[in-house]
Structure 1
Amino acid sequence: MTDTEFDPKSGDSETDFRLSTLLADLAQGSHEERITIGDLLAAMQRRALGAMIFIFAVPVALPLPPGVSTIFGAPLLFLTAQLMLGMQPWLPKLITNRSLTRREFGRIVSAVAPWLHRAESVMKPRGQFVGQSPFIYLLGAMCLILSIILFLPIPLGNMLPAFAVSVISLGLLVRDGLWMTIGFVLGLVAIAVVWGVFWAIIFGTLFVASTWFGFGF
């Protein structure tokens, strides 16, 4: 069994690990002015990969400055690929050295906390086979595709895919197969919406070009 699969004997269940509590502690903890990606990984220690993916996905789903989204978007490519391949979580030093101010991180935690508290109150272990092979690799592939979409300069190309990844990762964290399935469906919807927007932009550009410049298409 890999680290990405569920182990009933592991200590990462929702009974002894609250992601909302950990995030609040991080936001209010150290007196350091900045918090790095490496600090977040160290705080996770050997917690579920789902927790790591959630931490890096949820800021991209929020209406935050573009620079903040870029800091958190890059680790998603590595972590979701590792989820798909059943590998241990690891990030290169180039990414772990990236940082944001503790105030910015506190804003993220404040925005996420109410929703995370509600999610933790209704989520529970069920349908755990969804988080085991071969389904775990399919979830990983979906998260990787959505993470790649995050980097495309397409309207709605950030928030919808990031939200779907956040739901999947929370399901992984709590071993809730229902939430994993909902997140997967949301991922399909996000891909369809982004694909539709992409082609709408292309056809709209071609139409404007043909109207203004008389090009024939």
Structure 2
Amino acid sequence: MATIPNGRSEAAMTLHIPTSEVLRGLLDEAPADCVTLGWLLEKLHKRSFGIVLLLLALIGLAPGTSPVVGLLLTIPAIQMILARASPVFPRMITSRRFSTRRLVQLIDRAVPVLRRMETVIHPRWKTPFDATTRVVGLVVFALTSVFFVPIPLSNIVPAVTIMLIALAYLEEDGVLLALSLTAAATVLFVATFTIWQSVEAVRFMTS
């Protein structure tokens, strides 16, 4: 069986198209003037959940965005738990237009980074798609609670964790997914323990 430089088999490559190539292909189909979120979700098909999670997690790294991002992340997370085919947002969100030029600029910046990451993140330890979708949705839904913890910079760790989960989900990388889910469990444990300690401290001070 033929192989390519990064060690993946030719057969594996025909079954899985890297996310960077999917995004690059969007530009060939994009309207000349503007696009909508609804158009993007339709074109991305089964990749739409992973792309949405990745983009929201990136936004969640910015200071002051935690509550909004945490709330928005619950929408695709719940729909993944319910095994929906693709995320569904309110019409007022999906119908918002933005220029194709901005889409081109975003993809031009993202593709080189994704291509470098795809040399180490690629299909391994493949798991049933529906089961993986439900598990990822459940874990992301749990992680959204951390975005509401009133601690400075508490948004960074869950945002990075969701980014890793999204990349693993997009590239069907079971190894990275297992590591990311373990990291998510650790984040949730630490957040729960921190909240419990804070509650106990307040209770002690008021007693």
Equivalence map 1:61-80=2 (5 Å): 62=61, 64-67=62-65, 70=68, 72-80=69-77
- SS of alignment partner, residue 47 of structure 2: coil
Which residue, 192, 203, 217 being the options, matches 2:189? Answer: 192
Instruction: Kindly provide the amino acid, as one letter, of the partner of residue 159 in structure 1.
Output: I
Equivalence map 1:9-158=2 (5 Å): 13-15=16-18, 17-18=20-21, 38=38, 41=41, 44=44, 47-60=47-60, 62=61, 64-67=62-65, 70=68, 72-89=69-86, 90-96=88-94, 116-129=114-127, 131-155=128-152, 157-158=154-155
Q: 1:135 to 1:106 in 2, by over 3 A?
A: closer
193-202 or 178-187, which deviates more = 193-202
Instruction: Kindly provide the amino acid, as one letter, of the partner of residue 151 in structure 1.
Output: F
**Pairing 1:180–2:177 present:** yes
Separation of aligned partners in 2, 1:115 and 1:189: 27
Separation of aligned partners in 2, 1:143 and 1:68: 14
Q: 1:109 to 1:199 in 2, by over 3 A?
A: farther
Return the TM-score normalized by structure 2.
0.67
Shift of 1:79: 0.7
Gaps (5+ residues) in structure 1?
1-7
Return the TM-score normalized by structure 1.
0.65
Shift of 1:179: 1.1
Q: 1:158 to 1:112 in 2, by over 3 A?
A: farther
Q: Is the 8 A contact 2:19 2:171 kept in 1?
A: no
**Alignment deviations for residues 54-92 of structure 1 (CA, whole Å, 9 cap, x no partner):** 1222221x2x2424872x443321111111221122111
Q: 1:15 to 1:161 in 2, by over 3 A?
A: closer
Report the number of matched residues: 192
**Alignment deviations for residues 89-110 of structure 1 (CA, whole Å, 9 cap, x no partner):** 21112444679999x9999989
- SS of alignment partner, residue 171 of structure 1: helix
- SS of alignment partner, residue 52 of structure 1: helix
Separation of aligned partners in 1, 2:57 and 2:160: 7
Gaps (5+ residues) in structure 2?
1-10
Separation of aligned partners in 2, 1:58 and 1:99: 20
Shift of 1:180: 1.0
Separation of aligned partners in 2, 1:105 and 1:74: 24
Q: 1:16 to 1:37 in 2, by over 3 A?
A: closer
Q: Is the 8 A contact 1:80 1:141 kept in 2?
A: yes
Which residue, 154, 166, 170 being the options, matches 1:169? Answer: 166
Separation of aligned partners in 2, 1:107 and 1:206: 52
